[in-house]
Amino acid sequence: MRTPALFVLLALSVGATAGEIDRNTALQVMQRPDAVLIDVRTAEEFAEGALPGARRIETPDLAQRIGNVAPDKDTPVVLYCRSGRRSSAAQDVLEKLGYSQVINAGSYDQLAAILQRN
């Protein structure tokens, strides 16, 4: 009896793991005036192109600088990088700090292409 219950708990927790790319939600949240868009790529990557309104904060600096950008931990925060890996790590950092609405939008190139089409 314990094994099926444990399996159900594990299965339910898998869908809510931090770091998963949720581009559709990110695109919806980016339309909100209170949303904060953060690019966690390097300065060189950012200089090659960035989404309008994005603020560049690399993941290692995020815990130290997020309070200046989003002091309210209920602020919707959308993160992106080159592939989704660094934005996933950044999402973990922010969630551990208590931010409740953090979305990993994934890749800059894919987001830029979608936004260009719309």
User: Which tens digits make up the pLDDT trace of 95-115?
Assistant: 999 999 999 999 999 999 999
Report the number of distinct structural domains present in the chain: 1
0.95 exceeded by pTM? no
Residue ranges making up the domain that contains 83: 18-117
**Domain-located, residue 3:** no
**Domain-located, residue 41:** yes
**Domain-located, residue 63:** yes
User: Which tens digits make up the pLDDT trace of 80-95?
Assistant: 999 999 999 999 999 9
Tell me the DSSP string of 24-64: HHHHHHTTSTT-EEEE-S-HHHHHT---TT-EE--HHHHHH
The pLDDT > 90 percentage for the chain reads 83
- Residues recognised as catalytic: 81
Q: How far is CA 97 from CA 4, 34, 53, 61, in A?
A: 33, 19, 23, 13
pLDDT of residue 1: 41
Which CATH number covers residue 95? Answer: 3.40.250.10
Question: Which of 50, 114, 118, 35 shows the shortest CA–CA distance to 80?
Answer: 50
